[in-house]
Amino acid sequence: MIMMYLRHLLILGAAGTAAPLMATTSAPATPAGITRVQAMQNADREFAAIDTNKDGKLSAAEIETHRRARALAALRARNARMFEQLDANKDGSLSKEEFAKLVPGEVKVDIAPLMKQADKDGDAIISAAEFRAAAAENFARRDRNGDGVVSAEEANSPLK
């Protein structure tokens, strides 16, 4: 789970979500890959987006709130696609009953893997340094040939 989260951060950056969660944009991944500098810029933007109280640390509550917002944004995008599929006559409307079935009541997220990997000092808070270290560690695991760029092939291949 942590690897998927950091992979998302590495490849898409914070702006790669279904709905904008922050004002800044991330360095885009190109067919040639993403550099370590771009990955760290993405990590810094992601950290800033999650650190809502701007104390330079990520609490479990901040991470959970951020992950929940991202999950909800993805679900809303899925619902829009489902609406298009359900609107058989393409009149732009569904019954309330049909549409209500598209929205889940509660979104659950598991932040334990992220906390386990990134919270090195075990204080239940992720500092900017810990977050960057986890992002750098993930980058190094993905950059298998050590050239300082994570290619699309490296990014999409399973980790060993």
- DSSP letter string, 10-22: HHH-TT-SSS--S
Rounded distance between C-alpha atoms, residue 6 and residue 30, angstroms: 17
pTM equals: 0.50
Q: How far lies 157's CA from each of 4, 30, 141, in Å?
A: 12, 16, 11
Average pLDDT, stretch 44-59?
A: 94
111 — pLDDT class (breaks 50, 70, 90): very high
Q: Could you tell me the two tokens for 136? A: 């750098």
**Average pLDDT for the chain:** 79
**What is the C-alpha R_g of the chain?**
18
pLDDT for res 155: 84
Percent of the chain at pLDDT > 70 equals: 74
The structural domains of the chain, with segments of one domain joined by +, span 2-156
Q: Could you tell me the two tokens for 54? A: 């701007």
